[in-house]
Chain A
């Protein structure tokens, strides 16, 4: 009977039982010492975007993709979610109606272009708001406070003694957390939102997609969301340059110069591109603290004996 239960459990968890890793390794004369245990630098999302551009699939043609991570079994995730949702409806409705009876008032804060501000909203929540961004904050923080964000922000939520959940809504996505540090950029590319979690975890509710109603993003993970295409994907974070606007720290670890140019373009708001084919794949490593664009470009020029020219709209590394 115990064996039978084990088999059923395994089946439920979708774990194959006739799978021996050591046997596979032996069969191919592999040993664990020769394997890399480091995360690879391959960025599936970035590569996917580039692939679509190369295939001229501007329409992204990804409608109704619920999720693209191959190892996530949504049936398993959704079943308990449905059950929880069904059994919680009555309770939630009561709470919701109770909350509705007291209308929430908001204040709106916008950051001018070129400015950045830090908001310490209460003991639990701090928000770093980047240039050109807007946040709507409830005047009174209730049990489930909701903030509305348009633009780019780094959010820190500390664990509250009252175990409050905080919700941040951006481009129709709802990020819920009680303790985490995360970043949202609702205008990463036209019509595309990205979010990175650097500490703790965040639940993301996606009301637009068909079945994937909730996704959990953990420390070191990021998501990309294109609402018009109904596209959502999760991947690992490969560097911390996405918050360079907050930390003033740019770090490159053997990154291709073309990728470095993209980071610099985002950071300085000036289009920078590598035109010289032989330089495009060169790996660049450096750490800059609060650098000027000149300092970074001088470093690149000194390292690769190249020139930087301008054509009125962009800087070109030759």
Chain B
């Protein structure tokens, strides 16, 4: 059930199947939250936007029959919700004379795909076990070699290599259901 393809989930949602809707929520919550948070840097706005996205999906489920890629729709809806939430927030702040959340919707439009892929990959990283994530970060983000990581963590290079293999394997497993969303 958890690995059900999006098109099957969507078909069931259109039929009013709530379990399919719940599965869609848990499948996309993390990437959508990260996607929203990367735009607004506010956890409350990000959370509200993701919830509103799913409310919109559930309420408009009868009109989703012809949609091909529910994943892309979710990200587009979330982006629009974030923009709405920020506008509301900034309007309130204006009356109080406080600073706005800076947000450039037009510029962001062009890099929507990039932000979507970034959010999905960040969610995959979050899913890694702590040790594998740490070693993966040192190798990929800081560019350390196997031996440098091994020296720093006082473990053998073989262990570092094993952990990196685990990290890559788990990343691939996690990303597989989102593969259509990782393409340009």
Q: Please report A residues at the B interface, Cβ cutoff 8 Å.
A: 13-16, 19, 21, 24-25, 27-30, 32-37, 39-44, 47-48, 50-51, 54-55, 57, 61-74, 219-220, 233, 236, 254-256, 258-259, 277-278, 280-281, 283
Contacts and interface: CB of A to CB of B under 8 A. Distances in A.
Contacts of B30: 40, 42, 44
Nearest to B171: A21
Contacts of A278: 92-93, 96, 98
A37 B133 contact: yes
B130 A220 contact: yes
B37 A70 contact: no
A281 B45 contact: yes
Q: How large is the interface on B (under 10, 10 to 19, 20 to 34, 35 or more residues)?
A: 35 or more
B42 interface: yes
A57 B121 contact: no
Nearest to A54: B55
Interface in B117-155: 117-118, 121-123, 125-127, 130, 133, 136-137, 140-141
Given A37-B141, A39-B126, A68-B23, A27 B184 contact: yes
Chain B binding surface, main DSSP class: helix
Interface in B40-70: 42-47, 50-51, 54-55, 58
Interface centre among B2, B54, B98 (most CB of A within 10 A): B2
Chain A binding surface, main DSSP class: loop
Given A42-B46, A47-B50, A258-B44, A35 B122 contact: yes
B179 A16 contact: yes
Contacts of B96: 278
Contacts of B141: 32-33, 35, 37
A280 B88 CA distance: 13
A47 B50 CA distance: 9
28 contacts: A19-B176, A21-B121, A28-B184, A32-B140, A35-B125, A37-B122, A37-B133, A40-B33, A40-B34, A42-B29, A42-B34, A44-B25, A47-B29, A63-B19, A65-B22, A66-B1, A68-B23, A68-B26, A69-B26, A70-B2, A70-B27, A71-B2, A71-B127, A256-B42, A259-B44, A278-B92, A278-B93, A281-B89
A36 B135 CA distance: 14
A256 B44 CA distance: 6
Interface of B: 1-3, 18-19, 22-23, 25-27, 29-30, 33-34, 37, 42-47, 50-51, 54-55, 58, 89, 92-93, 96, 98, 113-114, 117-118, 121-123, 125-127, 130, 133, 136-137, 140-141, 168-169, 171-177, 179, 182-184
A243 to B, nearest CB: 20
Nearest to A220: B130
Given A24-B117, A30-B118, A42-B34, A73 B137 contact: no
Contact of B121 (A25, A62, A71): A25
Contacts, number: 156
Nearest to B37: A40
Contacts of A44: 25-26, 29-30
Given A16-B176, A21-B175, A37-B125, A51 B43 contact: no
B54 A51 contact: yes
B1 A42 contact: no
A30 B54 CA distance: 28
A22 B36 CA distance: 24
A191 B156 CA distance: 48
A265 B117 CA distance: 38
